[in-house]
Structure 1
Amino acid sequence: MIKVLFDHQTFSLQRYGGISRYFANVYHTIQKQDDIQAKISALYTNNYYLKDFNGLLSNNPVGKLIFKERVRGYLWNRAYSKRVIDKNDFDIFHPTYYHTYFLERLKKPFVLTVHDMIHEIMPEYFPNDDKSSFEKRQCIEKASHIIAISENTKRDLQNIFQIPDEKITVIHHGFTPSQESDETGAETDISKGNYLLFVGDRSFYKNFYRFAIAAAAFLQKRKNFKLICAGGGPFQHAEIEHLLKLKIMDRVTQITATERELDLLYQNTSAFIFPSIYEGFGLPILEAFKQKAPIIMSDIACFREIAGDASLYFNPFDPEDILAKIEHLVDDKALKDDLIKKGSQQILNFTMEKCANKTIDVYRNLL
């Protein structure tokens, strides 16, 4: 029996998010296996993807009180993770992010998943006191094996750190729909009418400002359309000023969507636009494929790797090209239907079973 230990990090930091969803999916799939078991070293988590997690302080009023304040909860979970690591009752350790607290005490091999190299490639987007690159480098150098979530991430990783091929395995994310979202549902008020859809964080390399310029030009021509931004938190002052300057503030809506609401937004949108200038993978692509949303996205290597010919692509640095591609897709029903059909086929390459089985193979090969 192989025993795998996942630590607390992403489950202490994220309520929702691609990284915690990835690790939760792998964890749940392992639990169904006969010859391997997994444990998460956390006392408590409110992570959406671990609803049934049975930590020592789960379903406990004391736990809820302690973990109401996120920093305090993070420190409690880290202290507990240290104790579990010190007991050494596992075969493989798989940290869920890059903090180095475990390096000096770990006696077993560990696998590190590298999601992207954005901090290293675009350091100008991050504060000077950001420790992410420093801690990530230490983890990469000491890892027994590395999982890269795309060929693009592997190339970036090797270009920066010269990691040999035999130490890296590329394992694409597997997609598991939320339990709330398997059925096509009726429209909600927010998903009624004609709209463009933007999903997730809007800062830095997500390229929201250039996209907003293109969206404004589109909305000025199409008075019956609006723009919906799902996730990413409420608009900040700089974003509001940008949208006011573009004269579209009254036609843009931000929603902190539930999984179900997000699925409905994908299902009913005229176009989902993904304008990032860099990504390690791009899980929203698979979400859009699943919900049969037509996609327009940046012409970057990672997106080409994941979406293939199931998307329309634009130059992310050129708002005029973004606008042209939006208009092309919205006006061409045959193109839209073709992309949706291709997306339904493309998502079959990204099953959770394939992701989990390849991950388990990495564990077995290490042992």
Structure 2
Amino acid sequence: MMIKLLIDYQTFILQSYGGISRYFANIHHAAQAREDIESRVGLLYTRNYYLKDYPSPLNNALGQCLMKKQSRYHSWNKAYSRHLISKNDYTVLHPSYYNPYYIKYAKKPVVITVHDMIHERLPEYFDPGDFYVRFKRLCIENAAHIIAISETTKRDLQEILQVEESRITVVHHGYQMSPDLAGQHEEVNVRKPDSNYLLFVGDRKGYKNFPIFLTAVSELLKTDQTLKLICAGGGPFREAEQEMLMRLKVKDKVIQVSPTDNELKSLYQHAIAFIFPSLYEGFGLPILESFKNNCPVIASNNACFKEIGEDAIAYFDPHDQHSIAATIKEVMTNEPFKEKLISNGRKQLEKFSMELCMEKTMAVYRKVSG
């Protein structure tokens, strides 16, 4: 039976770049490459990098002109997705985020991917007026099946929302390798930073645990004059962060950059180590990016990271500054341990192929479509 997949608009107007939109773009591209599944995305126009060539009705100069106004960009794409859902010309609907607008229009099975339950596990780090917590619950309750991106997320779904195990399938994220580079170390032609550095990637708010991590690493930065910390992404340092850098006397040792994909690969490749101090994550794609680029990983000892990294990560207690600093120092000074982490990371990456991720996702579509 030919499965007609419909992916809605949401993540592709919320993100120009980003993990969730890349995940759904990968699903679309994988489905397009198969003979048993057709895929369509409910977009009139998008600025998303991963679907920049998608043949949507207004993905052209006219659309660029018409969609300059952000409110129109949102409302027109939403209306178009709603129109396609109402036509009922699909087998499976896979909404790309948690706005439940589609529930009253969808007459066919709906599959929802839950990336994490951070808002529910750590509500103290989020706005109490955030309506997406309720939206997520409504989407989960009305889904025919749920894809959880880790066993950790599956357990949270069962414990927090009492979702039946039969309605959940764990499908780990896959890491896309270029066909000619699979199994190789892809050296990127980007200028290497001038000094030795530790690498932090992504947002620095709340549960990302950046203040405790920064306090822990500050003594190492002050002790080693050649050492720096590079923070990739997350936007420029905010006022309170700049004050903290001043108080810790490391303002000249901590650098924020907004790298391109190639520049980020180069940062991984030349870093002493990548450090992931989050209190909670649903998966952790930067771990796989580090493995691919032969970068040692030092991370919190939370359940998700242990699930993804196993023995390829040096773990610390994210609440304990001494544990963080001691683990970083161990990796910096113990070359055999560092090389073992790199070797184990290459082996661990093999468990997260894009092909396996896509095959399991397609199996969910077949299951719900009967």
Could you say which TM-score interval applies, normalised by the shorter chain?
A: over 0.9
The number of residue pairs the alignment matches comes to 365
Q: Which residue of 1 aligns with 2:155?
A: 155
Residue 199 of structure 1 aligns with an amino acid whose one-letter code is: V
Deviations 1:162-205 (A, max 9, x none): 1111110000001114799973024515x332000000111010
Structure 1 residues 268-277 or 11-20, which shifts more?
11-20
Q: Which residue of 2 aligns with 1:83?
A: 83
Deviations 1:108-151 (A, max 9, x none): 11000001001111111111211111000101111000000000
SS at match of 1:250: coil
Is the contact between residue 178 and residue 259 of structure 1 (CA under 8 Å) also seen in structure 2?
A: no
Q: Which residue of 2 aligns with 1:40?
A: 41
Deviations 1:203-232 (A, max 9, x none): 010111111111211101111011101111
Is the contact between residue 186 and residue 293 of structure 2 (CA under 8 Å) also seen in structure 1?
A: no
Residue 121 of structure 1 aligns with an amino acid whose one-letter code is: R
Pair 1:179–1:8, CA change in 2 (3 A): farther
Is the contact between residue 196 and residue 269 of structure 1 (CA under 8 Å) also seen in structure 2?
A: yes
Deviations 1:24-72 (A, max 9, x none): 11111111101111111011112122232121111x2231133334443
SS at match of 1:273: strand
**TM-score calculated relative to the size of structure 1:** 0.96
Is the contact between residue 113 and residue 148 of structure 1 (CA under 8 Å) also seen in structure 2?
A: yes
Q: Which residue of 2 aligns with 1:8?
A: 9
Q: Which residue of 2 aligns with 1:185?
A: 188
For 1:261-276, what aligned pairs fall within 5 Å after superposition? 261-276=263-278
Structure 1 residues 118-127 or 298-307, which shifts more?
118-127
Q: In structure 2, what is the Cα distance between the partners aligned to 1:326 and 1:68? A: 46
Q: In structure 1, what is the Cα distance between the partners aligned to 2:40 and 2:47? A: 16
Q: CA deviation at 1:89?
A: 0.9
Is the contact between residue 28 and residue 39 of structure 2 (CA under 8 Å) also seen in structure 1?
A: yes
Q: In structure 1, what is the Cα distance between the partners aligned to 2:45 and 2:257? A: 27
Q: Which residue of 1 aligns with 2:247?
A: 245
Q: Which residue of 2 aligns with 1:200?
A: 202
Q: In structure 2, what is the Cα distance between the partners aligned to 1:287 and 1:296? A: 13
Is the contact between residue 11 and residue 45 of structure 1 (CA under 8 Å) also seen in structure 2?
A: yes
Q: CA deviation at 1:318?
A: 0.9
Residue 19 of structure 1 aligns with an amino acid whose one-letter code is: I
Q: Which residue of 2 aligns with 1:52?
A: 53
Q: In structure 1, what is the Cα distance between the partners aligned to 2:98 and 2:127? A: 17
Q: In structure 2, what is the Cα distance between the partners aligned to 1:177 and 1:242? A: 39
Q: In structure 2, what is the Cα distance between the partners aligned to 1:111 and 1:122? A: 25
Q: Which residue of 2 aligns with 1:279?
A: 281
Q: In structure 2, what is the Cα distance between the partners aligned to 1:323 and 1:82? A: 51
Q: Which residue of 2 aligns with 1:229?
A: 231
Q: In structure 2, what is the Cα distance between the partners aligned to 1:122 and 1:82? A: 33
Q: Which residue of 2 aligns with 1:167?
A: 167
Q: Which residue of 1 aligns with 2:352?
A: 350
Q: In structure 2, what is the Cα distance between the partners aligned to 1:235 and 1:34? A: 48
Deviations 1:81-115 (A, max 9, x none): 11111111100000001001101111111000001
Q: In structure 2, what is the Cα distance between the partners aligned to 1:159 and 1:96? A: 24
Q: Which residue of 1 aligns with 2:27?
A: 26
For 1:309-348, what aligned pairs fall within 5 Å after superposition? 309-348=311-350
Q: Which residue of 1 aligns with 2:93?
A: 93
Residue 188 of structure 1 aligns with an amino acid whose one-letter code is: R
**Which residue, out of 247, 254, 257, partners 2:256?**
254
Pair 1:13–1:247, CA change in 2 (3 A): same
Q: In structure 2, what is the Cα distance between the partners aligned to 1:263 and 1:18? A: 15
Identity %: 52
For 1:94-109, what aligned pairs fall within 5 Å after superposition? 94-109=94-109
SS at match of 1:308: helix
Is the contact between residue 298 and residue 313 of structure 2 (CA under 8 Å) also seen in structure 1?
A: yes
For 1:110-121, what aligned pairs fall within 5 Å after superposition? 110-121=110-121
Is the contact between residue 296 and residue 311 of structure 1 (CA under 8 Å) also seen in structure 2?
A: yes
Residue 271 of structure 2 aligns with an amino acid whose one-letter code is: T
Q: Which residue of 1 aligns with 2:176?
A: 176
Q: In structure 1, what is the Cα distance between the partners aligned to 2:222 and 2:291? A: 28
For 1:282-293, what aligned pairs fall within 5 Å after superposition? 282-293=284-295
SS at match of 2:137: helix
Residue 159 of structure 1 aligns with an amino acid whose one-letter code is: E
SS at match of 2:138: helix
Q: In structure 2, what is the Cα distance between the partners aligned to 1:192 and 1:186? A: 15
Is the contact between residue 12 and residue 70 of structure 1 (CA under 8 Å) also seen in structure 2?
A: no
SS at match of 2:340: helix
Q: In structure 1, what is the Cα distance between the partners aligned to 2:221 and 2:70? A: 40
Is the contact between residue 180 and residue 259 of structure 1 (CA under 8 Å) also seen in structure 2?
A: no
SS at match of 2:194: coil
Residue 21 of structure 2 aligns with an amino acid whose one-letter code is: S
Pair 1:94–1:356, CA change in 2 (3 A): same
Root mean square deviation, CA, Å: 1.6
Is the contact between residue 44 and residue 57 of structure 2 (CA under 8 Å) also seen in structure 1?
A: yes
Q: Structure 2 regions of 5+ residues with no counterpart?
A: none
